[in-house]
Amino acid sequence: MEITLTHYLLLAMTVFLTGMVGFVVRRNAIVMLMCVELMLSSVNIVFAAYSRFHANADGHVFVLMNFAVAAAEAAIGLAILVEIFRRRRTVNVDDLKALME
């Protein structure tokens, strides 16, 4: 079976939905963060696939940029979570309502 663009897109969709569902149903901030990373990855897949499909390198550029953004985001996000955990002893988002108003 030849692997076509459609397959890549289906994969990307699966990964994205996994991430999305995980993001809205889980309460653990670390898991939610990982779900966000999943969604970003799915977008990367789409970029790479289309890059190949159109036979130009633009998509790869964006993939690389996304990597950088994702890495930075994960680093900062985790650092914040560690700090929150140190102070609150929890990373359950339902317990973190300081942003209200």
Residue 28, classed as helix, strand or coil, is: strand
3 versus 99: smaller Cβ distance to other proteins: 99
Q: In the complex with other proteins, which residue's Cβ is closer, 48 or 84? A: 84
Could you write out the three-class secondary structure of 35-93? HHHHHHHHHHHHHHHHHHHHCCCHHHHHHHHHHHHHHHHHHHHHHHHHHHHHHHCCCEH
Q: How far is the CB of 97 from other proteins (least distance, A)?
A: 4
State the nearest-atom distance from the C-beta of 26 to other proteins, in Å.
Answer: 8
For binding to other proteins (CB under 8 A), which residues are involved? 20, 23-24, 27, 29, 32, 93-94, 96-101
